[in-house]
Structures are given as C-alpha cells and as structure tokens.
Structure 1
Amino acid sequence: MLDIESPVCVHVVALIAEQHDMGVCDAIGPVQVQRKPVLMTSPRLPKVAGIQPAISPPSQTPPSASGAAPADRAPGSERAPEERGTDSDRISDLASLHELTTAVVRTEALDSALRETLRAGASLLGARRGLIALDPAAPGAGLGAGGAVGPASERTIGLGLERADLGQIETVPRSSAAYTRVLDCGAAGDGEGAGAAARPCEDPAEGIACPDIATDEDLAPRHREVAARIGYAASYAVPLTTDNGTRLGAAVWLYDEPTEPTARQRRLLGSYLRHATEHAARLGELARTRGEMATLREELLPSSLPRVAGVTLAVRHRTGPRGGGDWYDALPLPERALGLAVGGVTGSGPAVVAAMGRLRASLRAYAVMEGEDPVAVLSDLELLLRLTEPARSATALFAYAEPAGRKILLAGAGHCPPLIVGPRRVEPVETALSAPLGMLACWEAPSAEVTLSEGETLLCYTDGLLHRTGDSMDRAFARLRTAAAGAPRAAHEDPELLVEHVLRTVLPGPLADDRDHPEDVVVLAARF
C-alpha cells in the first residue's frame, strides 16, 4: 500500500497493473481523521507513472458559473435539447444584432439611417412593411438628405408603402393610429381610442400593439377602413427616443395577418433601437448644423450675378461637408466697369465662414473706392486682415474689367492664375507670384493687364478645384487646361455650359461628390 497522509479519503481507480509493474490494491480504505477536515478547492491526486486518474471533482469544489449544471443532471452528462436551443438562440440573436447595428452605423445621412432602421425592425419583428414619422421638433426633421431646409411638418418615411399609401395612413385620426399615439404619448386623445392614446410608451422596449385591427372596436372606423384598403391586419409601434430623452419620432411596422410580436422580438427590437436611434439623432443634428451653415454661407454670397452690358456671367459654388471659406463676387463699378473677385479663407467651419463674409464685404468696399487699381485693393485687404485677424490667412484674386474695350487689369495674392478660354487659344494669365494675404508684413505685387478678343471668356477658380483632383498642383492645372481646351463649340458661346463642362471633366464621378471632400470649389466665368 502507498503511504499517503491526507485529511481526505482517496480512491484510486483505473490503475493498470501491466503498465506499472507493481501490485494493485483493490481499494484504499478510508482514513478516519480526528481533526477538522481542511477544505480543498481542487483535487490533489498522486501521479503514478504519468497517469492522471479520472475522478469527479469533490463536493466542496464550487461549479463553474458559466457551465453550471442543473441540480437534477449529473456532472458531465449531456444538456437537455431545450437548454442547447436556448444558447443557440442567444448566439443567433447576438449575431443578428451585430449585423444590423453595423449596417445602420455605416449610414452617413439621416434618410438612409431611418430606412435602414425600418428594414432592420421588419427583419426582427417578422413584418413586411412599416413607416417612421419624425417629430417636427426632432433634429434634422425639416431637412432633406443634402441638408436643404424643408417644410416644418412631420416627415414620413415608408418601407414597402407607396406615397399614396402613406397619404391614406395619415388620414387616420391621431387618437387611433398607433404611431400618432406614440408621438402624442401621455396626452389624452379625443374621440375613439382616447384610452389607448394615454398608454405609456417612453421605453423603446414598450410600444403599442394592435394585434387584430379589423376586430378592434376601440379603433376609429377610418383606421379599420384604411387598414383593409392597404392590406395590413396588425401593427406594432414604438417611440424613437435617445438616452437623454430626445424624441425623434415613432416607428410602426405592419403585418399582413393578425399577430403580435413575441417578448423575444420586442426585446431584440429594443436593443437594436437603443443604438440605431442614437446614430440617427447624431446624423439629424449634423444635417441641421450643415443646413444652417449652408443658409448662412448663401446669405454671405451674392444672391444673383449682376447684368452688365457686354458681359455674360456664370458661377458654380460647391461646398464640402464642414463648410469652407471659398467665396466669389461680381459687382458693377463706376464708369460701366465690372469688378470680379474670387478667394478663400484657410480652414473650415462656422468661424471660417464668418471670416469669409467679413473679407468679402471689405473687398467690396475697397473695390468701390479704388477698384481701378487692383494692387491697392489687395494691399488694403492685406492690412485689414493682418490687423484684425492676424491668425488667419487667405487667398484672393481681383480683376477690374472694362467691358467696352475688353480690357482687364488684375492682381492676385497667393491665388491660382485665371484662364483665357476662346476658340483660338486657352492660356493662363501670367500674374506675378505673391504670398497669400496675412503671410507678409506688407503685401504688394505688380498687376497684369490683358485684352481679350471678342467671344473669349475669363475663367476664374479657387484652388479647391485643383485640390479635389488629388493630383499635384501642376498636374491638376494641366488637367483643367485640357478640359477647357476640349470644351465644345456651344460651351465657348455660353459660360453656363463652359463651367458645367469644366466641373464635369475635371471632377468626374466620386470627385464631384461634395460629401467626400472638405475642399470648397468656386468657378466663375465672364464671357466678353
């Protein structure tokens, strides 16, 4: 027998005599211990000839929290089928939520985020159609996909519903329709369905279910009529509310047959909406900010181009997602002259837009006082910028044009040279090199004078047009010059067609998408 001192009973099993060249005891009898046993957290068994005896854990060893077996099931035995199904369902739910949440956070516009939310909710609930009605006070509720200001009314986005179907659903009384009851949550309705309108629905996991619209006498007759006409028999509506309590609107999913979402489906939808609603709220706030900046920027730029005898003007202005400081101007001057200006303030954001407005207004004042001397105009602008905003820099080009003689006197401060575009020549105006405004203690550079032939166009632009190409400045300028030289005959006679041709040729495809580029683009054409 093995001489083992231990406070516990030891049983040796599965010892094979042939492998150990030793005798085998039938059993080791229990050792009676007089003192208090010492609790052990894991078995400590002797190793014999490298063999680990197979024994079950002692009773004092606590089971694993993750793999705890039910009391009525022996350790090591197979799990019941329903337990395996529960774990499988949980894994499937987590995988579905991960996939759907990843899809919605990749959206970059409020409309696309809401449509993805509708699609994901329909997948989780087993529905086929649905709609989202934004609260009028929600961030971005009155803005379109591009940030344009729209009507200050509820915006409705549908899934599997035509515009006529949405119009019919909007005729249902607010006290009866599920999504309007969610929007009006907590307020007493009037007419039928008033009791249901006061049903609490602040938690996204809680909503308003109408399992059988055709037989629900609490709903308005108009509601049942519209449901029968469109072809849905049940609905489930939930609020779209962020963690800080901001109400974006309400979402409702429509079923073709009488039914109601299960507790599991409601739980999954609530988990998904907690992430999707936060993302949609951020996109809505971003859309509203961009819309306000676009409105401010448009107010700081000319609302229309002036009409001057002998000159035809055209302009295009494209803005990046954060709003830049590129600007343009065209103003009539004394003695039937015309002032043309393009420029840009370095940076982006609201502060840059405001600085751009101040710079443009100052240049207009200097142009009226001494526009026939472009060098003096830019010198005054340099001094003003250096004294009032020493931390900023800007580029500018100012041209004093006499349409009667087609004579142009111009000067630039760190700006790209304009192009002369005509049927017989396409060449840049050779302006003197100069640093941008605000970069020198005293700015002054000689002006350049050119005389255009009849039918030629002066094409001015900001450096954002060249930067967006992704090429070096030399290659980008060569690309611009080639595009202008390849313009069709009609474009040489119409500056509107010319600027469109230049933009389409220099910035094809993705380069023309303003959402992907922080650079502003201004192209101003004056045909004499």
Structure 2
Amino acid sequence: MSAPHLPKVAGIDPEVPVSTQTAAPLREIPAAPGAFIQDRLAGWVSDLTTLHELTERLASTATLDAALNELLHAGAALVGARRGLLVLERAGTTTRSTTLGLGLGPADLGHLETVERSATALGRVLDGPPEAADARDGIATPDLLGDQDLDPRHREVATRLGYAASYALPLASEAAGRLGGAVWFYDEPGEPSEKQRHLVGLYARYATEHLARLTELERARADIATVAEELLPSRLPRIPGVRLAARHRTGPQGGGDWYDALPLPDHALGLAVGSVGGSGPSAMAAMGRLRASLRAYAVMEGEDPVAVLSDLELLLRLTEPARTATALFAYCEPAARKVVLAGAGHTPPLVLGDRRCEYVETTLSAPLGMLACWEAPSVEFSPAPGETVLLYTDGLLRRTGDAMDRAFARLHSAAASVPKADRHDPAAVTDHVLRAMLPDGLDRSDSTEDVVVLAAHFD
C-alpha cells in the first residue's frame, strides 16, 4: 500500500528528497574584507572611472586636430608627464605626417627634429616591426642623461629642453594597424608604473580606432571638397567696368550650391548662383549638369534671364523629374550699369553702396522643377558707381541657425557694417560679410550647409 502524498506547503515540493545532513551552526560573523583589498577595489574603480571619462571626451571630438590634442593631454595625465610629442603617419602610404607638441613650442619641435629618428624611443616605436614587444607595450627611458649609449645629439637636445626621461607608445590596433606614435617627457628621471602603462595602453588602442575613423572621414571630406571646387569656375573673368570676388565652402557631405560668372557677347557679363536639393555625390553631379546647361543657355539668350531659366526648368523637368533646384541669373552690362535678373525660388541679391544697402525686390517664384511651366517677370535695376551687388545661396542664412527673417536682417546688418574703406574691394566685402555672419568660420564641421557668396563691384 503506497503512502499518501503530502500536500505542498509554501511552494515546497515534499517529493524532492531533503538532505539529512545539517550545516554546522554559524558561530561567528565573517570578517569584512581587509583594508588592502578595499583599497585595491577602490583604486580599480577610480582607474576605470578616469579611463571612461577620458575616452568619452575623446569620442566627443569631431575633428582630427581636436582628437590629437585630446590624446596628448589625456596620455600625459595617465603617465604623469607634463610635455609630449605625437606623430601621426600611416605606414605604407604617402600621406603627409602630422606632428603635434604638448608644452613644446615651434623652436622646441625644431630642436627635436634635429635628432636622428632612430636614436629616439619615438623613432623606434614608429619604425620598428609591429610585432615587436616594444612596439606593443611602449619604450620607457627612465634616465636619459644617465644612459652611456645615448646619442650625443639627443643628449644635447634633452639638456637644452630640460627633460630627463621619456615614455614612448605606439598608436596601433589590430583593426587600424599602426597610425603613428606618441612620447611623453619627464622633467626628472622616472617612468610610468605598471598600472599607468596598462591604462595608457588601453586608452591608446581606443584612440587609434577613433583616429582611424576621423582620418578616413577627413580624407573623404577633402575629396568631396576637391570635386566640388573642380565643378566651379577655376577663375573669374575680367570684364571692364566690374570686379568680381567669390567665396565657396562645401559641407562635409558635399552639396549642390554653386555659382558662375561668364563673359557674354558685347562685353556683357552673366552672373548666376543656385542650389540643387539634397547632398552627397548625386547632388554634386546634378549641380555640375545644371551649371553646364545654364552656361549654354546664357550664351545663346543671356540678355533674357527669363528665357534662360525657362529653358533650365524644361531641361530639369524632362531629364531629372525628381530633382528640384533654385537659381538666379543676372545679365549685366557694366558700361551701361544695367542689370537684368530673374530668380527661381532663390534669395534676392543685396546692393551695397555709400548711400544705400538694400535687397533687390524680385518677383515671387517657385523653384525649378516644381511647376509644369516656369516663368516669372524679370527685374531691372542700375547699380551706381562704386556699388556692389551681392549674390548668395540660402546656405549662408541657414548656417547662422537663426530663423530666416532674422537671418535676412543679420545679413543686411553685416553688409551695412562694411567699412567705407573696404566697400570698393569685392573681396573685402565678401570676407567682412562672412566674418559677421559666421564668426566661428566657414569650416565648422557640425554644419551640413554649403555657402556661396558672389560679389560684383561696379566701378
């Protein structure tokens, strides 16, 4: 006869066998970890926190120069040094090397360059085989002046600059390879501890990956800027009675803002600015096609800006129906001081002189590619002797970060504040306007907008 099943109580299954052995009673409370272990744990937490903060700061850098400066400062803090030197050069490429110093002036860097590269720890890190232990773990020279085998020129430079020890570390990782190396200088004999070497090694491997990404990004940006510049006029024409100046910057992804200035029959001049929607290689290619087409239409019928833009509208609608663009074309007769212009969804020009600073009133029109048939009346005006006509793209306004009405007011104030001594120089006018509109400069990496400014000064 089988025994009855006992009921489950408090989630305990009575069918599960229970050990008949009982644990010994707890006679005393376990002692807390020793002070030594607590100190080591606290030290590890502090080191990890410091490393995390330094890598976060490095990751926030968006340009190569900023990342290199951050690396030098962080490395000096980790190894306990005051000065340092960094050389960035990718092995096996023809890319120009970059040298950066921390606490070292141009004269100091010049003295260091007089030392034969193979006689320095940094040179051995840069030129040694990647698989060598020194190339991975760094080279410490705890007492430079006490080294009997030290190169005499190196000893002279170390004495002159006042450093007595150094620690050199490669900038290398498995994925990125070796990008360069860094060395930090100590004012007194010494070397980093094992813990310091471990931390700076971890940081350097992370920094190498970040530098590799920024290097590729800047190379791509440089290629995009080169292509964009090649799609624009290589030089501005010289027409009696008018002087020209242009400024152009392409966004990091490459954009479609453009300008043109071309001589036309009977000593006339055609001026154009425009913007193609989108960014990247596709927008740049469309910009090149649009500019080339406008040049052809301007030569054939430039005296009628409406006809030029109407032809451009038809071409865009038939060949690239998904593309939109803005454009402004001006037909100028410098001898008669006559300008006839038409715009398709583009920002109005600005006229600057000794007696006025005002926008040219243009008719309201849609961008190219948005209407089945584009046509808007042209506008004619006469710039006075000594006045400058400023053409620009909306990227100049958008880069300010202001609302469009405030950006227009800001541009008007910038043009009105051009010193009288500079108003007869179109290059000085454009530079002043850009400095006033974009005090941080045209090369801000966080801006995706192109900028085009074209100035025509009538004598």
TM-score range, shorter chain: 0.7 to 0.9
Q: Identify the match of residue 279 of structure 1 among 200, 204, 210.
A: 210
CA distance in 2, matches of 1:177, 1:310: 62
Check 1:411–1:108 CA distance in 2 against 1; reply closer, same or farther (3 A cut).
same
CA distance in 2, matches of 1:468, 1:311: 29
Name the structure 1 match of 2:104. Answer: 161
Which runs of structure 2 are paired with 1:19-34 in the superposition (5 Å)? none
1:381 shift after superposition: 2.0
Name the structure 2 match of 1:336. Answer: 267
Q: Identify the match of residue 124 of structure 2 among 181, 195, 200.
A: 181
Name the structure 2 match of 1:221. Answer: 152
Name the structure 1 match of 2:342. Answer: 411
Amino acid corresponding to residue 415 of structure 1 in structure 2: H
Instruction: Determine whether 1:477 maps to 2:431.
Output: no
CA distance in 2, matches of 1:389, 1:280: 39
Which runs of structure 2 are paired with 1:10-49 in the superposition (5 Å)? 37-38=19-20
What SS class does the counterpart of residue 78 from structure 1 fall into? coil
Instruction: Determine whether 1:109 maps to 2:63.
Output: yes
Q: Identify the match of residue 383 of structure 2 among 452, 476, 479.
A: 452
Q: Deviations over 1:251-270 (max 9, x none)?
A: 11122233232221111111
What SS class does the counterpart of residue 391 from structure 2 fall into? strand
CA distance in 1, matches of 2:316, 2:164: 67
Instruction: Determine whether 1:490 maps to 2:444.
Output: no
1:482 shift after superposition: 4.2
Gaps of 5+ in 2: 1-16
Q: Identify the match of residue 89 of structure 1 among 18, 24, 43.
A: 43
CA distance in 2, matches of 1:497, 1:236: 49
1:138 shift after superposition: 8.8
Higher relative contact order (CA 8 A, sep 6+): 2
Which runs of structure 2 are paired with 1:94-243 in the superposition (5 Å)? 94-136=48-90, 152-186=95-129, 199-201=132-134, 203=136, 206-243=137-174
Name the structure 2 match of 1:515. Answer: 445
| 1:468–1:511 contact (8 Å) kept in structure 2 | no
Name the structure 2 match of 1:8. Answer: none
Q: Identify the match of residue 265 of structure 1 among 177, 185, 196.
A: 196
| 1:374–1:447 contact (8 Å) kept in structure 2 | yes
Amino acid corresponding to residue 155 of structure 1 in structure 2: T
Q: Deviations over 1:15-67 (max 9, x none)?
A: xxxxxxxxxxxxxxxxxxxx983578x99xxxxxxxxxxx639xxxxxxxxxx
Q: Deviations over 1:474-509 (max 9, x none)?
A: 34323433443454433443333333343344x253
What SS class does the counterpart of residue 87 from structure 1 fall into? helix
CA distance in 2, matches of 1:153, 1:487: 39
CA distance in 2, matches of 1:416, 1:185: 58
Q: Deviations over 1:229-282 (max 9, x none)?
A: 322222221111134143210111122233232221111111212222222222
1:117 shift after superposition: 1.1
Q: Identify the match of residue 285 of structure 2 among 340, 354, 365.
A: 354
| 1:186–1:200 contact (8 Å) kept in structure 2 | no
CA distance in 2, matches of 1:183, 1:39: 66
Q: Identify the match of residue 464 of structure 1 among 384, 395, 399.
A: 395
Check 1:83–1:486 CA distance in 2 against 1; reply closer, same or farther (3 A cut).
closer
Q: Deviations over 1:278-320 (max 9, x none)?
A: 2222222222221222222222222322211011222222343
Name the structure 1 match of 2:26. Answer: 56
What SS class does the counterpart of residue 256 from structure 2 fall into? strand
1:379 shift after superposition: 2.2
Instruction: Determine whether 1:80 maps to 2:17.
Output: no
Instruction: Determine whether 1:440 maps to 2:362.
Output: no
- Superposition TM-score, scaled by structure 2 size: 0.87
Q: Deviations over 1:45-98 (max 9, x none)?
A: xxxxxxxxxx639xxxxxxxxxxxxxxxx8521332221221121111112112
CA distance in 2, matches of 1:346, 1:36: 77
Amino acid corresponding to residue 200 of structure 1 in structure 2: A
Amino acid corresponding to residue 454 of structure 2 in structure 1: L
1:348 shift after superposition: 2.2
Gaps of 5+ in 1: 1-34, 44-54, 58-73, 143-151, 188-197
Check 1:487–1:265 CA distance in 2 against 1; reply closer, same or farther (3 A cut).
closer
Name the structure 2 match of 1:146. Answer: none
| 1:490–1:497 contact (8 Å) kept in structure 2 | no
Check 1:332–1:266 CA distance in 2 against 1; reply closer, same or farther (3 A cut).
same
1:218 shift after superposition: 4.6
1:212 shift after superposition: 2.4
| 1:138–1:248 contact (8 Å) kept in structure 2 | no
What SS class does the counterpart of residue 232 from structure 1 fall into? coil
CA distance in 2, matches of 1:334, 1:213: 74
CA distance in 2, matches of 1:323, 1:412: 24
Name the structure 2 match of 1:323. Answer: 254
What SS class does the counterpart of residue 117 from structure 2 fall into? coil
Aligned positions, number: 442
Amino acid corresponding to residue 169 of structure 1 in structure 2: L
1:514 shift after superposition: 3.1
1:217 shift after superposition: 4.2
CA distance in 1, matches of 2:132, 2:158: 22
Check 1:266–1:414 CA distance in 2 against 1; reply closer, same or farther (3 A cut).
same
Instruction: Determine whether 1:400 maps to 2:323.
Output: no
- More displaced 10-residue stretch of structure 1: 357-366 or 494-503: 494-503
Amino acid corresponding to residue 185 of structure 1 in structure 2: G
1:410 shift after superposition: 1.3
Identical counterparts, % of pairs: 62
What is the alpha-carbon root mean square deviation over aligned residues?
2.8
Amino acid corresponding to residue 98 of structure 1 in structure 2: H
- Superposition TM-score, scaled by structure 1 size: 0.76
Amino acid corresponding to residue 298 of structure 1 in structure 2: E
Q: Deviations over 1:345-386 (max 9, x none)?
A: 122223322322222222222212221222222222223323
Check 1:466–1:287 CA distance in 2 against 1; reply closer, same or farther (3 A cut).
same
Check 1:201–1:355 CA distance in 2 against 1; reply closer, same or farther (3 A cut).
farther
Amino acid corresponding to residue 37 of structure 1 in structure 2: S
Amino acid corresponding to residue 469 of structure 1 in structure 2: T
Q: Identify the match of residue 181 of structure 2 among 250, 274, 279.
A: 250
CA distance in 2, matches of 1:242, 1:382: 53
1:154 shift after superposition: 2.5
Check 1:39–1:422 CA distance in 2 against 1; reply closer, same or farther (3 A cut).
farther
Check 1:153–1:494 CA distance in 2 against 1; reply closer, same or farther (3 A cut).
closer
Name the structure 2 match of 1:526. Answer: 456
Choose 1 or 2 for highest CA Rg. 1
What SS class does the counterpart of residue 391 from structure 1 fall into? coil
What SS class does the counterpart of residue 352 from structure 1 fall into? helix
1:133 shift after superposition: 0.9
- More displaced 10-residue stretch of structure 1: 485-494 or 437-446: 485-494
CA distance in 2, matches of 1:328, 1:38: 93
